[in-house]
Each structure stands twice: as structure tokens, then as C-alpha cells.
């Protein structure tokens, strides 16, 4: 990181010099700038996290409320910088439609169930929860993200769960959902992965292979989302009966499926549209089958909303 940052002025000048030979949209310069910002933040964050570890008594009080709050505040600062840089270099905007969700008024814990599509959508969601709504999220996310050093160190100090591919996580999700306080939220992506057309087909075939023909047919009617996996959702609902539910839909990043897609669209110059729905604990169905039906009904509603707002 230090070596790349030390030579970054050269790379930025080279990218600027080559820009007239390209599309005129300064793609190379934008990517190089975002890379410089990322590496600088990564290096700085590791130094800050080391300082917090030392200040906590070499990890002794790291799990205490004061240092947990400091880590959440640090997450908010990192995501705020990343969001502003994306707006500046990539020309990405966010528009929220509808009323503010209950998550905007801390007072009860919430379970946040969001669709997953496009690069960076999970970071945008956590940015919104931490910086817009002053919440402390507990996140269920892929194990492979721990290859990023800051994600590995920072999120493993907080109550989060990294899911291994093919491993059941219902028990761990239930543990994360237990004991949520008034400003806590559990963040879960019921689809289990980022939306792509091929994953959608595989998710439908998986339901057919399990003999769930009716659910497969319902999943086929949803064009913009993957069939939700109810296991984690049911575990969270059972473990946190006092929590409300926030459903999150967004669109704008859906077509950026590969690195080539992102490159060809630079600068992105797009608006990510988000919609939040709030459900009180008293409105959540009680039985397991009723909750699975309820999950599919909401997922169909999210799919319909995306169809109306997809650019």
C-alpha cells in the first residue's frame, strides 16, 4: 500500500496524460483516483485500528461499550469519505423515495432485510444506517470479504457474522439477533448473494430440485431479484420478537455485473433509488409457514417496485 501510494502521483499524471486517447470521460484517471483513495483509507484505517487496540489495553476492553461505539463511529467516518468520493469521481447520487422508515427514530431494535444487487450496495446500506440513522448494525456477510484487511480487523471486533459458502448460519444469525437494544439493527440479505441473471436461474432450479415447485413458480415470476432463502430470516424473527422489520429495495446498480460493465459505464453518472418499508412487530405473522409466505409476498413487492423504478 505504501509503495503504491508513494508512486501514485506518477500514476495519476500518466492516467491524465492518456485520457485524451480514450473516450473523453477520464476513465483511467477516475479509476486511479479511487484506487488511491481506497489504499490511503486502508492504510490509515489499519493504523487507527492498531491505536484503538493499544488504547483498549491491548484488546482487554475492546468488547466494552465505549470501544464498540468508537469502532461504529470509525465505520461511519470511513463510509462517509468513500460515499463522498464516489459522488465526486464516479458521479453517483442517491435518491430515497417514500417516507422515512422507523429505523430513523431509534427506540426499538430493527431487522433490516435488503435485496442485494450491484457493486457497493451493501456499503451504501451500512452508510445509511450508521450516518443517516445513527444505528449500530450487526451484519451477516460473505466470508470472502475478510480478504480485505480493514474489513477483517474492524468487523471481527464487532458483533457480525461471516458466512462460509455452503454453510448453514441460522444458529449464528439467531445469536446476533438476540439482545438487540434500541439503536441496534440486524442486516441480512435473504437472497444469499448478489443478483445476476444466472444466479436467478440457479436459485429457481434449486427450488425445483428440492421439490418446492410452487415456490419455484413464484420465483420465476420475479424478474429482478433472487428467490429468498427463508432460513436466516426465520431465525432472526424467532430470536428477536420485539424487533420491527425494515424492507429495503434499491435499483440503479443492477446492470453492473462485471468489472467490464463498470469500466464501460464510467463515469457512472447514475442515481441509486432506494425505498424503505417499516413493519411493526405486531404485524409480523406468527407461524413458520405464514412467515415464509410473508417473505415471498414482500419479495414480490420489492421485485415489482424495482420494475417500476429500474433505469
CB 159 within 8 A of CB 152: no
Write down the pLDDT at residue 77.
96
**Burial class of 47 by CB neighbour count within 10 A (0 to 12, 13 to 18, 19+):** exposed
pTM: 0.90
How far, rounded to the nearest angstrom, does the alpha carbon of residue 302 sit from its chain's CA centroid?
16
Q: Where are the alpha helices (DSSP H) in the chain?
A: 2-6, 8-18, 27-55, 65-85, 121-127, 149-156, 170-177, 197-209, 213-221, 230-239, 259-265, 288-309
CA 76-89-94 angle, 5° bins = 55
- Residue 164 has φ and ψ, to the nearest 5°, of -80, 145
What's the sign of the alpha-carbon dihedral 172, 173, 178, 182? positive
Write down the pLDDT at residue 268.
66
- pLDDT digits (tens), the chain, 311 positions: 778 888 888 888 887 787 666 555 777 788 888 888 999 999 999 999 999 999 999 999 999 999 999 999 999 999 999 999 988 888 888 999 887 887 877 788 999 999 998 778 899 999 999 999 999 999 998 899 999 999 999 999 999 999 886 666 899 999 999 999 999 999 999 998 889 889 999 999 999 999 999 999 999 999 999 999 999 999 999 999 999 999 999 998 887 777 777 777 776 678 899 999 999 999 999 999 999 999 999 999 999 999 998 86
Residue with cell string 465526486? 88
Amino acid at each position: 500500500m505504501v509503495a503504491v501510494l508513494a508512486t501514485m502521483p506518477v500514476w495519476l499524471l500518466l492516467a491524465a496524460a492518456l485520457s485524451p486517447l480514450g473516450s473523453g470521460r477520464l476513465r483511467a484517471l477516475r479509476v486511479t483516483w479511487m484506487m488511491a483513495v481506497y489504499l490511503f483509507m486502508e492504510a490509515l484505517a489499519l493504523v487507527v485500528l492498531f491505536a484503538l487496540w493499544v488504547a483498549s489495553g491491548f484488546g482487554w476492553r475492546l468488547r466494552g461499550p465505549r470501544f464498540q461505539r468508537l469502532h461504529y463511529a470509525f465505520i461511519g467516518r470511513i463510509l462517509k469519505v468513500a460515499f463522498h468520493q464516489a459522488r465526486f469521481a464516479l458521479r453517483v447520487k442517491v435518491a430515497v423515495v417514500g417516507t422515512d422508515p422507523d429505523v430513523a427514530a431509534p427506540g426499538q431494535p430493527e431487522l433490516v432485510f435488503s435485496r442485494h444487487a450491484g457493486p457497493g450496495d451493501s456499503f451504501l446500506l451500512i452508510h445509511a444506517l450508521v450516518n443517516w440513522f445513527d444505528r449500530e448494525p450487526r451484519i451477516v456477510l460473505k466470508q470472502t470479504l475478510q480478504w480485505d484487511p480493514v474489513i477483517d480487523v474492524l468487523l471481527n471486533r464487532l458483533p457480525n457474522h461471516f458466512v462460509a459458502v455452503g454453510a448453514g448460519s441460522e444458529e449464528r444469525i439467531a445469536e446476533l439477533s438476540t439482545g438487540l437494544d434500541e439503536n441496534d439493527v440486524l442486516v441480512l440479505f435473504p437472497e444469499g448473494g448478489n443478483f445476476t441473471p444466472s444466479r436467478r436461474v440457479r436459485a429457481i432450479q434449486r427450488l425445483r430440485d428440492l421439490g418446492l415447485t410452487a415456490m419455484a413458480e413464484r420465483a420465476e415470476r420475479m424478474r429482478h431479484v433472487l428467490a429468498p432463502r427463508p432460513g436466516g430470516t426465520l431465525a432472526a424473527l424467532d430470536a428477536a420478537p420485539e424487533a420491527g422489520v425494515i424492507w429495503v429495495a434499491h435499483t440503479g446498480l443492477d446492470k453492473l455485473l462485471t468489472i467490464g460493465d463498470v469500466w464501460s459505464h464510467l463515469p457512472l453518472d447514475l442515481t441509486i433509488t432506494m425505498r424503505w418499508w417499516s413493519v411493526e412487530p405486531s404485524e409480523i405473522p406468527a407461524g413458520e409457514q405464514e412467515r415464509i409466505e410473508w417473505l415471498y409476498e414482500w419479495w414480490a413487492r420489492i421485485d415489482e417496485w424495482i420494475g417500476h423504478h429500474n433505469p
